[in-house]
Structure formats: structure tokens, C-alpha cells
Amino acid sequence: MSTAYKPLFNIRFENIFDARLDKYEVREQIRTDTSDSTRYLAGPDGVLAVFSEQNGASSSFVRPSFEPMPWSTFDALNREFDTEFVSEHDHRFWGFDTAGEWDQFQNEITRGKTMISISISFDTPAANRTG
């Protein structure tokens, strides 16, 4: 099963593919579905799909199904862009400050007290720093 990831600080889509990751042996891999908004990073131990968001102002990442975990690619992104990545299983991925807030939201949905309409954005001043 695939897993989605987001950096805690925005990384501009074009900056990911400007060759700065070459020094970590992480390079773009061209696949049949590569496009202007979907590209791939390949490291020594796996591949990450990279998606342009907010007209290129930020990016999201997916480890494709049944492929190895690309630890070296995440390490290179962490080092180069000085940000942590969180998966879709982390409350911060969805824009919640705490796990408790996320749990409360999930409980309200279950009881029908909250309509689902989520806009994921890291709008804090630090999050708007771009790599």
C-alpha cells in the first residue's frame, strides 16, 4: 500500500529537481506517468513520487505501493531542505497541532457532528519558508 508524506515546511516543486540532490545520489527517474505536476525521485534504496501543490509553491510525496522505503531519499531531502516529513498517519499531515485535536475531529465525524471539509495548509510563518 502506498503512503503519503508532507514536509513540515514547504519545498518548492522546482527546487526538488534542480540537481541539488545529486550529491546524495538522488536523481529524477522518468516513468510513464511523469508529467509537469508528477515526477519521481530515485535514491539507492527506493523511489518517491513527488506532486506539485499550490501551483508549485509546495510539494507532497508518496511512496508507491509495493516499493521499498526510500530512506536515503528522505534523508537527502531532510538534509538539503532542513525539514521533517510526516506521513498521512500523523496529525500534522492533516494540519492538526496535536494528536488529541485529530482524535476529537475523528470522533466527531464518527458521531456525525462534523462535516468533512479539510483544506491542508501549513500557513504558519515558518511553514511558508521555502527551500
Angle at 76 between CA 128 and CA 78, to 5 degrees: 35
Res 125: pLDDT: 45
CA atoms of 41 and 70, how far apart (whole Å): 9
pLDDT in tens, the chain (131 residues): 789 999 999 999 999 999 999 999 999 999 999 999 999 999 999 999 999 998 888 999 999 888 899 999 999 999 999 999 999 999 999 999 999 999 999 888 888 766 655 555 554 444 555 55
Q: Among 4, 23, 122, which residue's Cα sits nearest to residue 77?
A: 23
CA atoms of 17 and 21, how far apart (whole Å): 8
Q: Where are the domains of the chain?
A: 3-89, 91-122
**pTM reported for the whole predicted model:** 0.78
